[in-house]
Amino acid sequence: AQSVAQPEDQVNVAEGNPLTVKCTYSVSGNPYLFWYVQYPNRGLQFLLKYITGDNLVKGSYGFEAEFNKSQTSFHLKKPSALVSDSALYFCAVRDINTGGFKTIFGAGTRLFVKA
Amino acid sequence: DTEVTQTPKHLVMGMTNKKSLKCEQHMGHRAMYWYKQKAKKPPELMFVYSYEKLSINESVPSRFSPECPNSSLLNLHLHALQPEDSALYLCASSPRLGGEPYEQYFGPGTRLTVT
């Protein structure tokens, strides 16, 4: 079965420091991986995705993610955190077992950036 | 226009009421989704429409009835809901189902409270 795991419920980081939000995946076949962010009382916003090619994917708002096949990970990173980055982050994988019709979301990681 | 709109933003309804949620997109997307999201949890897929036809129903109770009147509109009709149905209901769209792993564009959601 396709799945993603976000091992941390919460990540705390000081403004200006680098941040990492972790995600590991378990898929059969090629993984199609996504990161979404959700601000309070809002819908999800797409940040970036990995389909194939370069293992370092750059996305919106200065975020990037590194695909690591040997470690089955797709961690989200940002070199310098902003207070406004505080939000709920979801890693997701497209479920090829349903012809790609479904997206499976991780449990989410809450990021707190302290000024 | 890369926006998905949802109305109303908030809805309070009694268990005997009938109400509808509305979702609209003008991006030419042919796949549309309804999700239910409880606080601090990932979105749970309810329904998927592809080219105005229902493709996936995730065993959702019949008190939720989806409708896709045209390629831009998606409705969710609600009847005889239970208090546990209180949640944020998110609509999303993507260019198509399957094939290219498209990201989803989410609306801001409707916050539903069932009393």
- pLDDT tens for each residue of chain A, 115 residues long: 789 999 999 999 999 999 999 999 998 888 899 999 999 888 999 999 999 889 999 999 999 999 999 999 999 999 999 999 999 999 999 887 766 678 999 999 999 999 9
Indicate the residue of B48, B108, B109 with minimum beta-carbon distance to A101: B48
Which secondary-structure segment (H or E) carries B79?
Answer: strand B73-79
Distance from C-alpha of B94 to C-alpha of A102, rounded to nearest angstrom: 11
Q: Could A44 and B106 be called an inter-chain contact, meaning their C-beta atoms sit closer than 8 Å?
A: yes
Tell me whether A52 touches chain B (CB under 8 Å).
Answer: no
Classify strands A109-114 and A10-14 as parallel, antiparallel or unpaired.
parallel
Q: Is the pLDDT of residue B98 over 90?
A: no
A15: its two tokens: 């403004």
Only one residue has tokens 């590991």, namely A24
B32: its two tokens: 């549309």
